[in-house]
Amino acid sequence: MGQNGKRVVAVTGNEAVAEAMRQINPDVCAAYPITPATDIMQRFTSFVSNGKVKTEMVLVESEHSAMSACVGASAAGGRVATATSSQGLALMWEILFIASGTRLPIVMSLVNRALSAPLNIHGDHSDGMGARDCGWIQLWSENAQESYDNMIQAFRIAEHMDIRMPAMVCLDGFIISHSIERMEYLDDETVKNFAGEFKTTNPLLDIENPVSYGPLILTDYYMEYRRAHAEVMSKVSKVVLDVAKDFEKISGRKYGLFETYRLEDAEIGLVVLNSAAGTSKDVVDEFRNRGIKAGLLKPRLYRPFPYEEIGEALKHLKAVCVLDRADAFGASYGPLFMDIASGVYPHKNGPLLINKIYGLGGRDYLPEHAETVLAELAEIAKTGKVKTLREYIGVRE
């Protein structure tokens, strides 16, 4: 036991997520195993089997049924969580929209993994990017600590009475899910108090006040429902920041909508999600040591995307490279690039942007990749000329 009841541990990302779920102690979990997320539910079901949580499990026959059961359980009126990855998320896709359209605050950890074909079990962001417009809140995590912290905060955000939307917490498959890191756990009581009691709204189990979930709504009102969804999403940023403030009080760790690293006076910068941010920060330091003003921005709240705030944070740079661990297959730009470009667009004198696709199917992202990209950015900053708008890196051509 460390200071203030914190425990310093050496654990994998999956172990940290399972621990967060144990401490949150949901009423129901429905899940189906898939590499590399399987380990989360294996650990969690051992908590169930040994009476460490009050949770009732639904060990379903597919991810489609996992999310369907989560929808039923959440509508019934209680706290619900699940975990998945890749093909599992793809199979859930239909029901992701139903969970958000029905305003059900389900929390799911998504262990990011490549999509088939060809079959590949390793980390990239194709799965999460494919679900970015499903109406869910998405929090992305660099390491085990952030995965754990984001999981705990996700319940507060999703269940906030102004929001009531499902949230997914993303972490990189294998790179984070299966690597052991040093991190800190909060104590059980602190997490329990932070999460608070689950508040129900129109629970299906209230037999005295029957409600109907899942109506047919045609041309007369469908658009108003979608508009209302958009309105709720516009309130998420504030809640994320409020919850982060409270979380800092119990953990000492600061969270925002995104993280900036040596960005304030930077001239060139990288934008990158999740684990690759760690490697990139080391290389940013090297460039700083050489007197080159490099910096980094790592989005945390990816949906809803804080376009204005990110545009503000990047507008003073001369050149920025957005690194995408997924392609959008439009023979154009990666998904993160398109969002960053939208954020920067209103700033006439904003940075020149380039896009690199890296690390697909778990391909290593090495310091030399970041070095090459930063060197290219330094050249663009000097000459004002972009040679290649978008390309794959670390690939055999």
Partner 1 sequence: MATPLSLKELSKKELLLTAGHRMCAGCGAPIVVKMALLAAEQPIIAANATGCLEVSTCISEYTAWKIPWIHNAFENAAATLSGVETMYRSLKKQGKIDKKIKFIAFGGDGGTYDIGFQSLSGAMERGHDMLYICYDNGAYMNTGIQRSSATPFGADTTTCPAGSCNPGKLQQRKDLTKIMAAHGIPYVAQASPSHWSDLVKKVKKALAIDGPKFMNVITPCNRGWRSKTDDAVKLSRLGVETCYWPLFEIENGATRVTVKPKEKKPLVDFLKPQGRFKHLFAPENEHLLKQAQDQVDAYWERLLKEEAFAARQE
In whole angstroms, the minimum distance from the beta carbon of 273 to partner 1 comes to: 30
Q: How many residues would you count in the chain?
A: 397
Cα→Cα distances 195→7, 85, 318, Å: 19, 25, 42
* Residues 359-378, interacting with partner 1 (CB under 8 A): none
Nearest to 155 by CA among 17, 50, 42, 56: 17
Q: Which two tokens stand for residue 188?
A: 């059980």
Nearer to partner 1, 27 or 259 (CB): 27
Using CB under 8 A as the binding rule, whether residue 80 contacts partner 1 is answered as yes
CB of 87 to partner 1, least distance (A): 15
Total residues at interface with partner 1 (CB under 8 A): 43
Alpha-carbon distance 275 to 185, whole Å?
20
Shortest Cβ distance from residue 219 to partner 1 (Å)?
12
**Using rule CB under 8 A, residue 27 touches partner 1:** yes
Q: Please spell the DSSP secondary structure of 17-83, one letter per residue.
A: HHHHHHHH--SEEEE---TTTHHHHHHHHHHHHTTS--PEEEE-SSHHHHHHHHHHHHHHHS-EEEE
Residues 84-103 that bind partner 1 (CB under 8 A): 94-95, 98
At its nearest, how many Å lie between partner 1 and the CB of residue 24?
14
Min. distance of Cβ 335 from partner 1 in angstroms?
A: 26
- Residues paired with 308 in a beta bridge: none
Beta-bridge partners for 30: 58
Q: How many Cβ atoms sit within 10 Å of the Cβ of residue 45?
A: 17
* Binding track, positions 47-66, relative to partner 1; x by CB under 8 A: -------xxxxxxxxx-xx-
Q: Does 30 bind partner 1 (CB under 8 A)?
A: yes
Shortest distance in whole angstroms from residue 102 CB to partner 1: 8
**Chosen residue from 211, 228, 230, 375 binding partner 1 by CB under 8 A:** 211
Single residue of 16, 17, 24, 28 touching partner 1 by CB under 8 A: 28
Minimum distance from residue 196 beta carbon to partner 1 (Å): 15
- Alpha-carbon distance 164 to 234, whole Å? 13
Among 1, 117, 207, 331, binds partner 1 (CB under 8 A): 207
Strand order in the sheet with 258-261: 258-261, 294-299, 268-271, 319-324, 352-357, 390-392
Nearest CB to partner 1, comparing residues 54 and 387:
54
Q: Cβ(314)–Cβ(351) under 8 Å?
A: yes
216-255 positions binding partner 1, by CB under 8 A: 216-218, 221
DSSP state of 187: P
Binding site for partner 1 (CB under 8 A): 27-28, 30, 54-62, 64-65, 68-78, 80, 94-95, 98, 204-207, 210-218, 221
